[in-house]
Amino acid sequence: MAMENILSFLGAALRLSTPLIYACLAGLWSERAGVIDVGLEGKMLAGAFAGAAVAALTGDVGIGLAAAVAASMTLAAAQGFVEVERGGDQIVCGMAVNMIGAGVTAFVGAALFAEGGRTPALPREARVLPFVWGQDALTLGAFGVAAITAFILYRTRFGLRLRAAGENPRALDAAGGSVRATRHAAVAVCGLLCGLSGADLSLAQAAGFLPAMTAGKGFIALAALVFAKWRPGAALATCLLFGGLDAAAIRMEGAPLPFLGVIPTQAFQALPYLMTVVLLAGFVGGARPPAAAGQPYRRE
């Protein structure tokens, strides 16, 4: 493979990793605080749609990005309210968010643009464009977000409390910290990052929104989170790996590999999920989620 090819492969891998990185870190924030989130996909979809729709209407990528974040955070707030204030089942709420995300985006899209749920194709000025090394600000930002996440999680008061809320919320409560505030904040950050993840899909990778365009990336991100054992650095690495697999699948479509012959694309698509299952099965060292993840907190 020529140098040029390698570079273009790496570029594609980076681009495909970007939404995964944001979404995976989003899940990390939420789950380290003790709130399991299987609703990443729905919030990403909301972000992708709102970003593209508003960018299409205003022609301004900045407003589009803000709308993406706002839509995703609104869903996260509703989810957080039911989960934290009402003690709702977190898996159920996550699934609900996925349904709302899929339904509302398709419904509003059809009503606004009458193109079967698509948004109109976005002009260049309404998109996030590459500016250095063929990469755009969202891709570069993803690395920054990973670093900031690690810093906050391990070096700040908020991070300490967040980890405590995910491991033993009673201890945090008894020590004078607020489990509610911590979890709400974590869910809000989760919404913010899901919004960016969705915006990357509709404003950077594509020039507009297509119904169901997240295509399971929210769940791949969830898989990556498990694979990374809920640690920020490993999350970044896993998402790069999964993005690389995706890029390899596209590149190798139909091309035979030595010894293996032609590998069907579907095998590459299924690979992240398979790898996560194998990890979960404990064949490659166990993955232990935060102890209180999934448990609503209530004082005795």
Structure-token pair, residue 63: 């407003």
Of residues 38-57, those binding other proteins (CB under 8 A) = 38, 42
- 102 vs 186, which CB is nearer to other proteins? 102
Buried b / exposed e along 153-170 (16+ C-beta atoms within 10 A) = beeeebbbbbbbbbbbbe
* Contact window for other proteins (CB under 8 A) among 23-31, 142-150, 151-159, 234-242: 151-159
How far apart are CB 252 and other proteins at their closest, in Å? Answer: 15
**Cβ partners under 8 Å of residue 106, min gap 6:** 117, 211, 212
Evaluate whether 2 touches 196 at the Cβ level (below 8 Å).
no
Closest separation between CB of residue 141 and other proteins, Å?
Answer: 23
Phi-psi region of 121 (alpha: psi -120 to 50; beta: other; left: phi over 0): beta
Near other proteins by CB under 8 A, which window of 65-73, 142-150, 231-239, 263-271?
Answer: 263-271
Whichever of 132 and 175 has its CB closer to other proteins, that residue is 175
CB of 133 to other proteins, least distance (A): 32
Residues 192-251 that bind other proteins (CB under 8 A): 211, 216, 219, 222-223, 226
* CB-CB contact of 112 with 211 (8 Å): no
> Minimum distance from CB of 291 to other proteins (Å)?
7
Other Cβ atoms less than 10 A from the Cβ of 34: the count is 31
Residues 163-202 that bind other proteins (CB under 8 A): 163-164, 167-168, 170-177
Residue 251: strand, helix, or coil: helix
Comparison of 147 and 270: residue with beta carbon closer to other proteins: 270
Part in contact with other proteins (CB under 8 A); list of ranges 21-29, 162-170, 192-200, 235-243: 162-170
Instruction: Give the count of residues interacting with other proteins (CB under 8 A).
Output: 77
* Residue in the block written with tokens 């003690």: 87
Please state, in angstroms and rounded to a whole number, the distance separating the CA atoms of residues 53 and 47. 10
Residue 243 Cβ vs other proteins, minimum distance, rounded to whole Å:
16
If the CB atoms of residues 10 and 108 are measured against other proteins, the closer one turns out to be 108
Q: Is 291 in the site for other proteins (CB under 8 A)?
A: yes
Nearer to other proteins, 98 or 139 (CB): 98
SS3 4: helix
Window 52 to 81, contacts with other proteins (CB under 8 A): 78-79
Q: How far apart are CA 9 and CA 20, in angstroms?
A: 17
Tell me the C-alpha distance between 275 and 288, whole Å: 16
Nearer to other proteins by Cβ, of 148 and 171: the residue is: 171
Least CB distance from residue 189 to other proteins, whole Å?
A: 16
Give residues 89-148 in contact with other proteins (rule: CB under 8 A).
89, 91-93, 95-104, 106-112, 114, 117
Smallest separation, CB 203 to other proteins (Å): 22
At residue 176's C-alpha, the angle toward residues 170 and 182, to 5°, is 70
Task: Round to whole Å and give the CA distance between 65 and 232.
Answer: 24
- The amino acid that residue 42 corresponds to is G
